Amino acid sequence: MNPEGAPPSRAAARQEGRATINDIAAVTGVAASTVSRALSRPDRVNRVTRERIQAAARELNYVPNTQARALSSGRTDTVALLVSDATNPFYFGLIRGAQQQLHAAGQALLLMDTEDSAELENHLLGKMRRSVDGVILAASRLPEQTLAVIAAELPVVTINRNVPGVHSVVIDSPDGVMQAVEHLVSLGHRHVAYVTGPPSSWANEARWRALRTGMARHGLSADRIGPFGVSRHCGSAAADALLNTGATACVTFNDLLAIGILRRLAERGVDVPGEISVVGCDDIFGADFCSPPLTTLTAPIEQAGRVAVSMLLENLENPAVRASCRRIILPTHLTVRQSSGQAPRL
């Protein structure tokens, strides 16, 4: 039953699991366009025809070719997630949340690591702007200007970064920092330092401002040390600098830094929280079992990932939404563990 002998016979094609709509069309005796419609806009096709086609598709184990679909329709069913450092545990939750939500929507996750470089970030965005439907930028290091340009070309949702005209979901760490300040002040701390993370981080600035404001409210001022990298190793330098300020407590840009500080302080024989209290940010994996367990701002990271995806998908489906720029703020709360305590007597 091979009228004209096409070299790679239909049979072979089927065996290789490479059935196309044409194969289905051939088998069911309709045009390829009908197959396409039966599969993607079912109501455009007569019920019996449709069912026949669907059955054939199933039987041939048909899987639409994403590339081809993307080429003609423009939709890729893929969303990119750019993180600044894939090894930072903070992103684990984000990745997880995003992945879950995307999977539920039948989309794929393209993960890219910008290695904390604005240039690389920009470059990657350029390369893939055609191959994804949208992008989620976690902790983007790009200048607002650039971000705006990109957002104009491609649906974008930023995480922990506010840029006019760009949708975003931010974790309300300033509020959390306030809570931390209250906590520390109520424990008698008068001298608190902020351990700065990457200067290019928007959240970093936001946290510092919140800390300063919070302290000011009590007529106290705050120190600021750093900037430091955000790996644990950088915590050593931070710890030393911290001791040098004479502060009795610190709030760090993130937990990684805090954990690093904890280690270094232990090494130097400084008692936490006896001599100094440490408060982190994010509540990443490990914050609860380091030693001592870290008092930190618990951020709904996974939720942030999910929400960002939802927002993006919403935008895709309803371009109208895209014009309006929505931003969602997720609350944080202080989780008190054992790295913070009464300020030492003078």
Binding site for a second copy (CB under 8 A): 16-18, 61, 63, 65-68, 70-71, 76, 78, 86-87, 89, 92-93, 95-96, 99-100, 103, 108-113, 126-131, 153, 232, 259, 262-263, 285-286, 289-291
Nearest CA among 299, 270, 271, 293 for reference residue 339: 293
Spatial separation of the C-alpha atoms in residues 220 and 131, rounded to whole Å: 51
Partner from a second copy, DNA, none binding residue 46, C-beta < 5-8 Å depending on class: DNA
Query: Contact with DNA (CB under 7 A): which of 9, 61, 65, 342?
Result: 65
Closest separation between CB of residue 9 and a second copy, Å? 18
Contacting range for DNA; rule: CB under 7 A; set: 21-29, 148-156, 180-188, 282-290: 21-29
Q: How far is CA 175 from CA 91, 166, 182, 310, 343, in A?
A: 21, 22, 11, 24, 22
Contacting range for DNA; rule: CB under 7 A; set: 35-43, 175-183, 250-258, 269-277: 35-43
Rounding to the nearest 10 degrees, give the CA dihedral for residues 73, 109, 319, 148. Answer: -120
118, containing H or E segment: helix 118-128
Spatial separation of the C-alpha atoms in residues 111 and 91, rounded to whole Å: 11
Partner from DNA, a second copy, none binding residue 37, C-beta < 5-8 Å depending on class: DNA
Closest separation between CB of residue 292 and a second copy, Å? 8
Contact by Cβ (8 Å): 261, 252: yes
Partner from a second copy, DNA, none binding residue 112, C-beta < 5-8 Å depending on class: a second copy
In sequence order, what E strands does the chain have?
Answer: 78-83, 108-113, 134-138, 156-159, 167-171, 192-195, 222-225, 249-252, 277-282, 295-298, 327-330, 333-335
Query: Contact with DNA (CB under 7 A): which of 45, 138, 159, 193?
Result: 45
14 binds DNA (CB under 7 A): no
Exposed/middle/buried for 6, CB within 10 Å: 0-12, 13-18, 19+?
exposed
Closest separation between CB of residue 29 and a second copy, Å? 25
Contact by Cβ (8 Å): 207, 281: yes
Partner from a second copy, DNA, none binding residue 153, C-beta < 5-8 Å depending on class: a second copy
Query: Contact with DNA (CB under 7 A): which of 9, 12, 15, 40?
Result: 40
Q: Strand, coil or helix: what is 92?
A: helix
Query: Contact with DNA (CB under 7 A): which of 10, 14, 18, 333?
Result: 18
Positions in the binding site for DNA (CB under 7 A):
5, 7, 18, 20-22, 29-34, 36-37, 39-41, 43-50, 62, 64-65, 68-69, 71-75
